[in-house]
Structure formats: C-alpha cells, structure tokens
Structure 1
Amino acid sequence: MNKDSFTGQAVYSKKVLSIYDIWVLGFSNSYLWKCPTSLIGKKFVALVSDNHLDVGVGTGYYLKNYLPSAVKRVALVDLNNNSLESTSKAIQHLNPEVYCRDILKPLTLSNEKFDSVSINYLLHCLPGDLSEKSIAFSHLRDVMNKGAVLFGSTILGKDTSQNNLAKKLMAFYNKKGIFSNANDDLVSLDTALKAHFYDVKIKVVGCVAIFSGIKI
C-alpha cells in the first residue's frame, strides 16, 4: 500500500472503532456534516441486494442495522484488519467473505461477482482528488454483475455549507491525512461516477453526497 492509503485507514484502531458510531455517525453527522445517518441507512435499504459487497466497512454499522437477514451472500473489503475483524464478527451468522484489499489497486476476489456494492465514507479518506481516486470505481465495476448498483456516501470538502467547527475539523483531518477531500466537490463526483456508471444519482445533504449508479 502507498503511504497515503495507509494514513487514511491507520487511524481506525480498536479504540477508535469503539467510539466511531457515537462520534462520526452520531455527533458528526448530525451537528457537523449535517446529514443524519438515517438518510444513508435508507439508501442502503433501498438498494442493497442479497449478493452484496461492502467496501470500507468501518464498524459494520450499516450491515448490522440495515442488511436483510435473508441475504444470501455478503462480502467485506477494507484495508484495515481491525475493521474487518470487528465487522465480520458482528455478522458472522451470515458467513461473510473477508478481503483485506487496497481499493486503489485492482481487486482479486472470488470469481462470483456482485449485484450491489456499498461504499460509505471511504472516498473522502482516499488520497488524491476525485479524478485520481475514482480509479476505485473502475476496480469495483470489475467485480460487479451487469445491471448491478453501486451506492454510497462521501463528505465533500468544497462548495458545501460548513459551520465553523466543521471547517476546523475538516482542515485538521486533511492535515493529518485522515481525510483527503479539500478539493472534492459535486461536479467532480458526478464526473467520476458517470465515467463508470449510468443512471447516476447524487443528493447533497449538508456536506455529504449520497450517490448511486448502475453498471451497464
């Protein structure tokens, strides 16, 4: 992995993961990024299939709270083993496939492709601007079936309404390499998605873009 990729995921120690849901999905989403976690959850429920790949799993929050119990197949991709371990244990009854992978590199997974892929709060942690890190969309497209849907969310760093605390925290995260989204904006995201998918839909809520696209 390159140094920047490592920096973006290295922060997620077991200690950090233990407070992630409260700090990020609770406080930060509601009061800083101004996008309630429930909106992202609703998108998950609407688009998830029973043959699903979750990328950048974090604590597995959306899988634990919104994944249908009758799902036939679920796979996890993340660069952080703490996240993979925590999430795989939480949904062990579903026998998830677990892959420690860098999404900026071609993915070597099982031969069977997926009907849906979720990628929540990962893009803003990847190094580079959206034109560079959108290579992740190409790699995900390669493991998706025809007609499969990719959906997710990302925090935009540019051209969104941010309160003072949000600006300061985002600048701090970018300085530390936890975020790399200072130049991420709606136009760049739209361009990146449309280069790989059709029927692209993006809704910006606060600082967060909630998006989806379909593989032709």
Structure 2
Amino acid sequence: MDYGNDKGARIYTPLILKIYDFWVLGISNSHAWRCSTEDILLNHFRQNMAEKHLDIGVGTGYYIAHTRDNSNNITLMDLNQNSLSSATERIGSHRIHHALKHDILRQLPDGEKGQYDSVSMYYLLHCLRGDMHKKAVAIEHASQALTPDGTLHGATILGKGVEHNRLGRYLMKIYNKKGIFCNLADSYEELETILERYFAKVTIQQHGVVAVFTATGKIGGNASN
C-alpha cells in the first residue's frame, strides 16, 4: 500500500535541514504557530523523555540534542535518511542505539514492539496524509512500541477550529498545497479522540495553534494506572 508520506519526507534535503532550526523552530514557531520552541516544546520533551526512548520524525535531532541527561539508549525512526543521518550526528552516535528508516503508518518490526519507556512525535502528525482518523494508525503503532507504563508525547499543528494569523494562514496554504502538511481538517477534538482510543490517560494543551500532548496507560497494555 502506498501511504504517500514519502512526498512530505523528501523535502528534508541536506540544505533544508541546515535552515530547519532557524525557520521552523525559530521564525515559524514564534510568529506563525505562536508556540515557543524552548519554553513550550523543548520543556515538554524534557519532562517526558524516559531512559529508553523512540523518536519518530526526527527532524534535525534538536530536542534530543538539548535533552542530554535523560537517555543514551535512543532509537530514531524516520522516512528520510538525510534526517536520520543529520540527527545522529547532532545527538552523538554514542547515544543512538539504532536509526530505523521506516514509515510509522506501516506495521512496526516485531523487535520494536513493547520496547520503549517513551515515544515522541513532534510535528509529525500534521505531515501525514489523510484526516485524523486515517492518521490514527500512527498513534496505534506508537502505542505498540511502548512498554505498558510508557508515555507517548508530542505536538502537532492544528488546521481546524483554531485561529491562524496572517503568516500562519499563508504558510498553511503553501505547505498543504505542496504536500508538506496535510492538516486542514486536523482539530483538537479529533486528536483527543484518536489518542483516547489507544490510551487511558490523555492530556492536551493548546499553545497558539499547536496541540501539545501526552498519553499514558496504553489500552491493552496492562499498565498499572
């Protein structure tokens, strides 16, 4: 089956990755999405990253590189080899258990299931094809990677039921047209619904147009809570 996500992944060339932090984590987060990278997203990542960690949709490795004390047992998962290589170099290969080129919408390899104390997906869901219900399989597969007491955490840019500013509306139009984003129908309520399908405890906070979430107690995982 062709999930169509490699089109969005291909945008991350070595050149784009060199300006990613400046444009996405700096300019866009502050002025378009209105969600501080350091104060909100990095802080959230640091609070929820555990010892054995899986990062899905790795970007440049910014968050893990700035969360040095939490773990040296990290797996990176992405469709783009450029991102995997760049993130590994930035984080430090001594911290990386392995880097896996894989589409999260496809079934996880058996060796990845039930292995991780935490799984992160930051700015991944709004890049996946389809509406939130079609993206639910990504949440399902992420939950399968977790130990029974593990935590899923992440953030995604919403397209529905939020007020985008002028720059945000412009970027949303361009990115969705080019296939970089697919989030015009993504809402807070639908994100909450799919998270609650796979987890007993879900917390979502909205900062600007970004939903920042944690989910624990995976359903069927025999978690203590």
- TM-score bracket, normalised by the shorter chain, equals over 0.9
- Map of 1:7 onto structure 2: 7
Q: CA-to-partner distance for each residue in 1:18-59, whole Å, 9 max, x for gaps? A: 000000000000000000002111111111101111010000
| Gap regions ≥5 residues in structure 2 | none
Separation in 2 of the partners of 1:183 and 1:123? 12
Separation in 2 of the partners of 1:17 and 1:148? 30
- Alignment partners' CA distance in 2, 1:104 and 1:67: 29
Please name the residue that 1:202 is paired with: 204
8 A Cα contact 1:78 1:84, kept in partner:
yes
Q: Structure 1: how far apart are the matches of 2:163 and 2:43? A: 23
Q: Deviations over 1:121-157 (max 9, x none)?
A: 0000000001101100111111110010000000001
TM-score normalised by L of structure 1: 0.95
TM-score normalised by the chain length of structure 2: 0.92
Match of 2:124 in 1: 122
Q: Does 1:78 align with 2:82?
A: no
Aligned residue for 2:202, secondary structure, equals strand
- What pairs with 1:31-180 in structure 2 (closer than 5 Å)? 31-38=31-38, 39-68=40-69, 71-90=71-90, 91-108=92-109, 110=111, 113-180=115-182
Instruction: Please report how far the alpha carbon of residue 93 of structure 1 lies from its aligned counterpart in structure 2 after TM superposition.
Output: 2.2
Distance 1:3 1:104, change over 3 A: closer
Determine if contact 2:119/2:145 at 8 Å carries over to the other structure.
no
Question: How many residues in Structure 1 have an aligned counterpart in Structure 2?
Answer: 215
Using the alignment, how far apart are the partners of 2:74 and 2:193 within structure 1?
Answer: 29
* Residue 97 (structure 1) shift: 1.0
Q: Which runs of 5+ in 1 are unaligned?
A: none
Given the superposition, is the C-alpha separation of residues 27 and 102 from structure 1 closer, same or farther in structure 2, using an over 3 Å criterion?
Answer: same
What CA RMSD, in Å, does the superposition of the two structures yield over aligned residues?
1.4
Deviation for aligned residue 1:6? 1.1
Amino acid aligned to 1:156: L
Residue of structure 2 equivalent to 1:213:
215
List 4+ stretches of structure 1 deviating above 4 A.
none
Where 2:121 maps in the other structure, the secondary structure is strand
The answer (yes or no) to whether the contact 1:88–1:96 under 8 Å persists in 2 is no
Percent identity, aligned pairs only, is: 40
Distance 1:132 1:14, change over 3 A: same
In structure 2, how many angstroms separate the alpha carbons of the residues matched to 1:66 and 1:173? 29
